[in-house]
């Protein structure tokens, strides 16, 4: 049975590239009716934090990813790593190295002077007929893996095809530090063996690690998983995606008002395709996903496309559900929300009226804020152009006709606004723009009948009078 894993390191937030890796691993397992494992690779004791673990779990939960096994924590498996290290030492696949930091620095300097790749020179590597130096006092040795020195290490990558490197390019990597703590490249192999991982899907920045890990698998006498290395994600400008491109942490997309469905749909198309289809349900992603259709080349992040997708999912979502998702964003801009049927019903109507004009929940919250505040924030440019001596008669006639209405329904409101154009012999633009500015604070809003209905009679008349008083 196919088994994949997602194995983030908790040294920071879950970035968007990591989220794509999690998604592809998840989809591949589901497509093949396999299982997925969540593993927290926290052996970097200095940089790993509980806060980062919490942030990663929060991100995965928001995206809707669940796992068949885990989370497993590497720091809770140190006894197992120690056991395997002892086995490798006993079988001659690893050895103790007593080199000091000064000696290692000298090796690097010599290599650099020769314009060669810095590498360990094998001082403590045991070989038939070789006499090792005397063990120095006061040095806690590291444990190095005895990498093959001849031939090549190869593997067939499910994205890039056959990849190979000469073993002479790989030095004897450290698998346990002087304090006994195991290192990344070693731990992941033991974990993949013990967790019976069949397919490893990760970024192509790990390709060089894979060669080293393949040799450790072989030294342990265990089957090597199949690997699929995903090309990097570039920013809008074609450069490697980084903080300067804006939001790169997954929860930043939540903060910016994106829906998880939109983010997932966008991520699946970053390096994978199924014909010309752009919009996928999750069920369709599972049905169609195949590593054969993953691109070898890097993908460019397109913020405009993500916004387009987000708007699509906002429009498609049940308005009542979208209204509930909107509440935290309203609260952030000072709107007091309620958990009552009356408030929820009104908020749902507001969402329905404005959602097609918004690309994010942040934008939608700002757009409907005028419905919930006593004092609107009037756009200065709109005010200067629309709230003028020329528009004063229009605003006064609107206030007169609207005040006489006993029925505050959209169709009645529409008729009243049109009546103003007749009474004053002006075009709708001369009526609609000043009216919108007076009651909304800007010149764009849903249809005037919808807008007036939502604002309500009392508040509409108050805002008209305030606008008239400004002139």
Quote the CA–CA distance of 192 and 198 in Å, as a whole number: 8
Q: Is 273 helix (H, G, I), strand (E, B) or coil?
A: coil
**Do 63 and 19 meet the contact criterion of CB atoms below 8 Å apart?**
yes
CA–chain centroid gap for 114, Å, is 43
DSSP helix/strand/coil, 72 = strand
Question: By the 8 A CB rule, do 159 and 230 touch?
Answer: yes
Contact at 8 Å (CB) between 371 and 446? Answer: no
Cα–Cα distance measured from residue 383 to residue 268, given in angstroms and rounded to the nearest whole number: 44
Pinpoint the alpha helices (H) of 65-175: 78-90, 101-113
CA distance 37 to 215: 23
Beta partners for residue 200, in sequence order: 227
Looking at 76, 243, 296, 332, which residue is catalytic?
A: 243
Q: Is 227 helix (H, G, I), strand (E, B) or coil?
A: strand
Identify the helix (H) or strand (E) that includes residue 382.
helix 380-386
Select from 59, 141, 69, 71 the least CA-distant residue to 100. Answer: 141
Rounded-to-integer distance, Cα 457 and Cα 464, Å? 11
Query: What is the distance between the alpha carbons of residues 281 and 146, in angstroms, rounded to a whole number?
Result: 48
Catalytic annotation on 240? Answer: no
- CB crowding 263-279: b at 16 or more within 10 Å, else e: bbbbbbbbbbebeeeee
CA dist list (Å): 261 to 8, 94, 221, 271: 22, 47, 42, 18
Residues in a beta bridge with 418: none
What would the DSSP string read from start to end of 198-224?
A: -EEEEEGGGHHHHHHHHHHHHHHT-PP
DSSP 341-361: HHHHHHHHHHHHHHGGG-SSH
Residues marked as catalytic? 243
């Amino acid at each position: 049975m196919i088994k994949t894993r997602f194995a983030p390191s908790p040294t920071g937030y879950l970035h968007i590239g990591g989220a794509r890796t999690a998604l592809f691993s998840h989809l591949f397992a589901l497509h093949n009716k396999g299982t997925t494992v969540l593993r927290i690779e926290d052996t970097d004791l200095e940089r790993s934090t509980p806060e980062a673990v919490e942030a990663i779990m929060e991100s995965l939960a928001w995206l809707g990813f669940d796992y068949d096994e885990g989370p497993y924590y590497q720091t809770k498996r140190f006894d197992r790593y120690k056991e395997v290290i002892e086995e490798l030492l006993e079988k001659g696949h690893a050895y103790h190295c007593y080199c000091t930091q000064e000696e290692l620095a000298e090796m690097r300097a010599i290599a650099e002077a020769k314009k060669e790749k810095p590498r360990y020179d094998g001082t403590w590597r045991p070989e038939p007929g070789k006499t090792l130096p005397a063990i120095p006092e006061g040095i806690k040795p590291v444990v190095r893996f005895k990498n093959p020195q001849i031939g090549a290490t190869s593997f067939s990558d499910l994205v890039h095809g056959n990849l190979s490197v000469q073993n002479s390019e790989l030095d004897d990597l450290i698998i346990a530090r002087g304090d006994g703590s195991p290192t990344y490249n070693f731990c992941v192999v033991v974990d993949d063996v013990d967790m019976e991982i069949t397919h490893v899907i990760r970024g192509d920045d790990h390709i060089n690690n894979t060669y080293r890990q393949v040799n450790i698998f072989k030294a342990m006498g265990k089957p090597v998983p199949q690997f699929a290395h995903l090309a990097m994600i570039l920013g809008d400008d074609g450069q490697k995606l980084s903080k300067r491109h804006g939001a790169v942490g997954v929860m930043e997309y939540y903060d910016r008002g994106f829906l998880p469905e939109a983010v997932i749909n966008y991520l699946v198309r970053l390096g994978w395709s199924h014909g010309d289809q752009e919009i996928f349900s999750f069920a369709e992603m599972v049905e169609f996903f195949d590593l054969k259709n993953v691109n070898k080349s890097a993908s460019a992040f397109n913020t405009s496309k993500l916004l387009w997708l987000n708007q699509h999912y906002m429009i498609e979502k049940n308005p009542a559900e979208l209204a509930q998702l909107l509440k935290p964003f309203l609260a952030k801009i000072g709107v007091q929300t309620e958990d009552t049927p009356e408030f929820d019903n009104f908020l749902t109507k507001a969402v329905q009226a404005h959602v097609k004009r918004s690309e994010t929940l942040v934008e939608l919250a700002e757009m409907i804020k005028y419905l919930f505040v006593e004092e609107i924030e009037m756009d200065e440019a709109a005010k200067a152009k629309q709230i003028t001596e020329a528009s004063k008669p229009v605003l006064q006639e609107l206030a007169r006709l609207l005040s006489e209405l006993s029925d505050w329904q959209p169709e009645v409101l529409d008729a009243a606004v049109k009546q103003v154009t007749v009474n004053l012999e002006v075009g709708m633009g001369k009526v609609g723009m000043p009216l919108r500015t007076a009651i909304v604070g800007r010149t764009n809003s849903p249809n005037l009948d919808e807008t007036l209905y939502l604002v309500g009679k009392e508040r509409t008349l108050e805002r008209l009078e305030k606008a008239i008083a400004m002139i």
